[in-house]
Structure 1
Amino acid sequence: MSGGLLDPALNRAPESPRHIHLIGICGTGMAALAAMLQERGYTVTGSDQNVYPPMSDFLARLGIEVMAGYAAANLAARPDLVIVGNVVRITNPEAVALAELGLPYLSMPQALGHFFLADKRSLVVAGTHGKTTTSSLLATTLHRLGSSPGFLIGGLVEAFGRNACAGAGPYFVVEGDEYDTAFFNKVSKFQHYRPHCAILTSVEFDHADIFPDLAAIRASFAEFIGRIPADGALVACLDDPVVAELASAARCPVIGYGTGAACEWQLTDLRAHGLAIDFAVTRRGTVLGRCILPMPGRHNGLNALAVIALLHHLGFAFDAIVAGLAAFEGVKRRQQVRGVVRGVTVIDDFAHHPTAVRETLHALRLAWPENRLIVVFEPRTNSSRRAVFQEEYARVFGDADQVLVREHVPLDSLPMSEQFSSVRLAADLREQGIAARAFPDTEAILADLDRTCRSGDRVVILSNGGFDGIHERLLAQLGRRA
């Protein structure tokens, strides 16, 4: 067999594998999976094109061998099982060699389901927005409740100092990503996560590189909901009309949460206290008490409410749940203060979808109503680099005082007429009275911030990538000021 055409009959785990090899091991989820497999006693190796910190250091500390670059020679030892990362394409030389050698293979989601979810009650957090934060709140609170959960989450959870753990308890928390699984399995990752219970936060159009329209996304979420067994539960944000419609077809009990009257669990009387909030928790018309959360914004309050609703359903006491939430240490890259130098606060956030940008900035405006909010935005995802959200982005920066937009790295597969324009976004924002400018690169943005930042400013950096190390470079730059 050649040409990268994998035999579907080999898309399985062998009965007693000893050596497991991961192609694309330096991805966040793949590296975490490698660590958990090693913890289970398997011999683990891997390969990746981009072997650099922090994942290279993480794997090195574990003593996991990582081969730099993809090559047929990486499979010379004939591992018992090969796990193929989402980053790998059909033409990858290692994938071609995998086909020629006829070795058993799985995707990362398939491997997680097989090795870690089969004997657990899988709690899957799905939705366009809030997955990482809500998963982290859920796993951390379960930990505080003494449940020793397993988890695999797309961000580094401060309480654990990592993003994954096999766990000794009965529950496993999974961030349920709707992105596709692998080149040989073009279904959403969450279809492999065996949900016993799930949280559904929101459903909007996203991932324009793999979904043609909202209908395709809805279909994938509908299939996922159909996988929840009748004795499980769906905790659904009924404020979202698409979620409400999808939930109406669930075969399991639906526990509604949100702010609307139709919700069993309601968030009311939210109050902001800097980067923290507190709110009243109402269930079926009765106020159970208040929840304090060390995160800003109504959207984070709703994320916490979803966790309260699910854990209450699982039998945990309300007072113990809210005590656990109050002790939440946060998630890296979610409204994370990276430092304060000369009175300038630098905040890192992952927001890239228009709705996430709007909610994040609104939360930070509530936290700091008197301070100047300077927003630095890097359109970096496949969707944000397309024109599909051009007009929506122009409507979501209203809480900013200044907006600095980096030019995107062009997508080779699309004509420029179908790609996002930072220049146009800046012009549209200026028409609304927002001081906005487009910049060709990170260096130009740093130079502008060096000229304009003053004590009291909050600089919010929005990107789903490393953004050329802009956070630490800005802090260092501020520290060099006379």
Structure 2
Amino acid sequence: MKKAHFIGIAGKGMSAVALLLREAGWQISGSDEGFYPPVSDYLAKAGISFADGYKKENIHDDADMIVIGKNAKLVAESNEEVAAAFAWQKNLPAGRRVVSFPDVLNELTAKTDNIVVAGSYGKSTCTAALAWCLMHAGKDPSYFIGEITKGFDAHAHKGSGGVFVLEGDEYPSANWDTTSKFLRYHPHSVLLTSATHDHVNVYPTHEEYLSPFKKLIALLPSDGLLAVNAGEEHAFALSKNFAGTTVTYGMTPDAQWYPQNIKYGLITTFDLMNGGTKITELTTELLGAHNIENIVAVGALLLEKGLLTPEELAAGVASFEGVKRRMELLSPRSTIPVLEGFGSSYEKARSAMEAMKLHFPGRRLLVVFEPHTFTWRNRAALYRYDDVFAGADKVYIYEPASHGAGTHAQLTQEEIVSRVQAAGVDADAITDPDAALEIIGNELYSGDCVLLLTSGELGGLIKTLPAFAEKKFPA
């Protein structure tokens, strides 16, 4: 049995690849700083051993491969386990190697029909929905999802079917390899949701950001398929570079695939249309117009490829529960809906805001926001605060995250709050995270709704505020 050791195994991508290798028959070990459910549960259930903390003793000579994650702490200069891994590679026979997890996926996808989902937003939801619909129809696909999903046994699986669904990330593969991750995945089909400028710490200009997407499309074979969002100008422009089959999707009849007769609610129904013809009626519990767009994208790709019938698609969509942290209701036992939205970019934040207004009309909307990603903390993004919170009745803003602050022009909390206030939105700074629950809890009234908007943890408020709402305002 081959053996692989993962340094940084608790990361979502790293743990997913570890699970894939385990299903392929490898013996897996790993290390990281801090293990938490559900990832720790996934690893334990798969029989994967893991050590808490990085130590050179975690490296064993009998390993066949060492996989190192892309994390600022995972560099040989400051991490003794990483240094030991590269020394291990240098001193042992050929064939034993140090790799990144995209390197592993490169090998696992060499002989499968690969669907790569790429874009600035919507990737996790679309990837999970594709995998779920195929799985629900008994196709047993392989899948790699970069977030924690609802209803799945885990966020990765090596299936017996020939299709492999992968969440494709434009971010660099490793600390020693700037190749975008998704360029390693042998795409036969690509679902391109968007290409709005993101990851400004890696791609300072929009043109630099678009470069890996152009390369991804260039990897498609002549008999491949590109499904592209016709409503996002940058993605649509990129699709012109592909000479093979391209299908468009969107929210209007300008696209080939689009929704019609949408009836929004906690359960939403709509007709899936193709060129003016109704294909099927779909029902979903996902919230927001952006999720209708995601489902249309999934339907367009699966039906164009002939992987599912319209009936199988409808059954899969109706039973799909979504992805954790993506418009997830955290207070089911309260009259005050507290939802978490993934606020890593402007587009994601706006989609979450619009979903709250759409599904909870007439309620006072309180937003708790943490500027966690470089996209929100960089001075070049200050103008984004002019309208991102339009429609909110009150916004609480946390201190910007500090990781990597010295590597770019970091905004201050005061600058962000002032900019939001200048846009006419009632905004306050949360200067003491330990007091946040009391401050926000005192502002809650029956009939309110709350959106927690972050890609971080809000100092634990993600758990404590929903519990407070359920206790003070029980359903």
TM-score (norm 1): 0.91
- Secondary structure (helix, strand or coil) at the match of 1:319 reads helix
1:95 Cα shift? 2.5
Q: Which of 142, 145, 150 is the aligned partner of 1:150?
A: 142
Report the AA paired with residue 288 of structure 2: G
C-alpha distance 90-255 of structure 1, shift in aligned 2 (>3 A): farther
Deviation string 1:297-341 (CA, Å, 9 cap, x unpaired) is 221111111111111112122233123212212221111111145
SS at match of 1:73: helix
State the partner residue of 1:107.
Answer: 100
Q: Give the Cα separation in 2 of the matches to 1:52 and 1:330.
A: 21
Q: CA RMSD in A?
A: 2.1
Amino acid at match of 1:113: N
The change in CA–CA distance for 1:327 and 1:183 in structure 2 (over 3 A counts) is same
**Do the aligned partners of 1:228 and 1:251 also contact (CA within 8 Å) in 2?**
no
Q: Which amino acid aligns with 1:314?
A: K
In 2, Cα distance between the equivalents of 1:47 and 1:58?
Answer: 15
> Distance between the aligned counterparts of 1:61 and 1:140, measured in 2?
21
Matched with 2:458 is 467
Residue number among 79, 83, 93 corresponding to 2:63 in the alignment: 79
Aligned to 1:258: 250
1:189-226 Cα offsets, whole Å, 9 max, x none, are 10111111110000011111111211111111000111
Unpaired runs of at least 5, structure 1: 1-16
Residues 139-178 of structure 1: pairs in structure 2 closer than 5 A: 139-178=131-170
2:460 and 2:158 map into 1 onto residues whose CA distance is 31
User: Cα–Cα, structure 1 residues 21 and 415, in superposed 2: closer, same or farther, change >3 Å?
Assistant: closer
Pick one of 228, 239, 242 that aligns with 2:234. Answer: 242
Q: 1:193 to 1:236 in 2, by over 3 A?
A: same
Mapped pair 1:286 → 2:277:
yes
The residue correspondences of 1:284-323 to structure 2 (distance < 5 A) are: 284-315=275-306, 316-323=308-315
Counterparts of 1:33-432 in structure 2 under 5 Å? 33-87=17-71, 88-91=74-77, 92-101=79-88, 102=90, 103-114=96-107, 116-273=108-265, 275-315=266-306, 316-411=308-403, 413-414=405-406, 418-432=409-423
Deviations 1:425-456 (A, max 9, x none): 33333334322111124223212112111222
Q: 1: distance between equivalents of 2:470 and 2:286? A: 27
Match of 1:443 in 2: 434
Deviation at 1:361, TM superposition (A): 0.9
When structure 1 is superposed on structure 2, of 314-323 and 346-355 the one drifting more is 314-323
Aligned-pair distance for 1:20? 0.7
Q: CA deviation at 1:412?
A: 5.0
Native 8 Å contact 1:203 1:242 kept in 2: yes
Aligned residue identity for 1:447: E
Deviations 1:100-140 (A, max 9, x none): 222412210110221x3122211111100100111111111
Which residue in the other structure is 1:8 paired with? none
Would the alpha carbon gap of residues 289 and 59 (structure 1) be closer, same or farther in structure 2, given more than 3 Å must change?
Answer: closer
Q: Give the whole-Å Cα distance in 1 for the aligned partners of 2:363 and 2:405.
A: 41
Cα distance change, pair 157–66 in 1 and its aligned pair in 2 (3 A): same
Task: State the SS of the aligned residue for 2:147.
Answer: strand
Q: Tell me which amino acid in the other structure corresponds to 1:105.
A: V
- Are 1:226 and 1:250, in contact at CA under 8 Å, matched by a contact in 2? yes
Spell out, residue by residue over 1:151-184, the C-alpha distance to the aligned partner (whole angstroms, 9 max, x if none): 1112222121421111121111111111111012
Q: Give 1:372 shift.
A: 1.5
| TM-score where L is the length of structure 2 | 0.92
CA distance in 1, matches of 2:312, 2:38: 35
Q: Is the CA contact 1:343–1:454 (under 8 Å) kept in the aligned structure 2?
A: no
- Shift, 1:260, TM fit: 4.6
Distance in structure 1 (CA, Å) of the matches to 2:117 and 2:281: 23
SS at 1:162's partner residue?
coil
Q: Distance in 2 between matches of 1:399 and 1:120?
A: 46
Tell me how far apart the structure 1 counterparts of residues 446 and 30 of structure 2 sit (CA, whole Å).
47
Q: Is the 8 A contact 2:42 2:154 kept in 1?
A: no
Structure 1 residue 282, shift from structure 2 partner: 2.2
Q: Sort the Cα spacing of 1:438 and 1:341 in 2 relative to 1 into closer, same or farther, 3 A.
A: farther
- Measure, in 1, the Cα distance between the counterparts of 2:244 and 2:292: 25
Q: Give the Cα–Cα distance (whole angstroms) in 1 for the partners of residues 337 and 250 of structure 2.
A: 31
CA contact (8 A) 1:342 1:455 kept: no
Structure 1, 303-312 or 90-99: larger mean CA deviation? 90-99
Whether the 8 Å contact between 1:354 and 1:389 is mirrored in structure 2 is: no
Contact between 2:341 and 2:349, CA under 8 Å: does it hold in 1?
no
**Superposed displacement of residue 78, structure 1:** 3.9
Q: CA deviation at 1:360?
A: 1.1
Distance in 2 of aligned mates of 1:387 and 1:328: 38
Give the Cα–Cα distance (whole angstroms) in 1 for the partners of residues 5 and 352 of structure 2. Answer: 39
The verdict on how the C-alpha distance between 1:373 and 1:226 changes in structure 2, with shifts beyond 3 A counting, is same
Give the ranges of 4+ consecutive aligned residues of structure 1 lying more than 4 Å apart after TM superposition: 479-482
Question: Contact conserved, 1:341 with 1:475, CA < 8 A, in 2?
Answer: no
The 2-side partners of 1:441 and 1:194 are apart by: 47
- Corresponding residue SS for 1:366: helix
2:375 aligns to what SS in structure 1? coil
8 Å contact kept, 1:385–1:411? no
Q: Greater CA deviation, 192-201 or 281-290?
A: 281-290
1:382-402 Cα deviation digits (max 9, x unpaired): 322222222113311112111
Question: How much has 1:413 moved relative to structure 2?
Answer: 4.7
What secondary structure is seen at the aligned counterpart in 2 of 1:174? strand
* In structure 2, C-alpha distance between the alignment counterparts of 1:271 and 1:390, rounded to whole Å: 36
**Distance between the aligned counterparts of 1:328 and 1:442, measured in 2?**
35
Matched letter for residue 462 of structure 1: L
Which position in structure 2 is the counterpart of 1:5? none
SS at match of 2:374: coil
Q: 1:174 is matched by which residue type in structure 2?
A: L
In 1: Cα distance, 2:11 partner to 2:335 partner: 35
* 1:423 positional shift: 2.6
One-letter code of the match for 2:293? L
8 Å CA contact 1:387, 1:421 repeated in 2: no
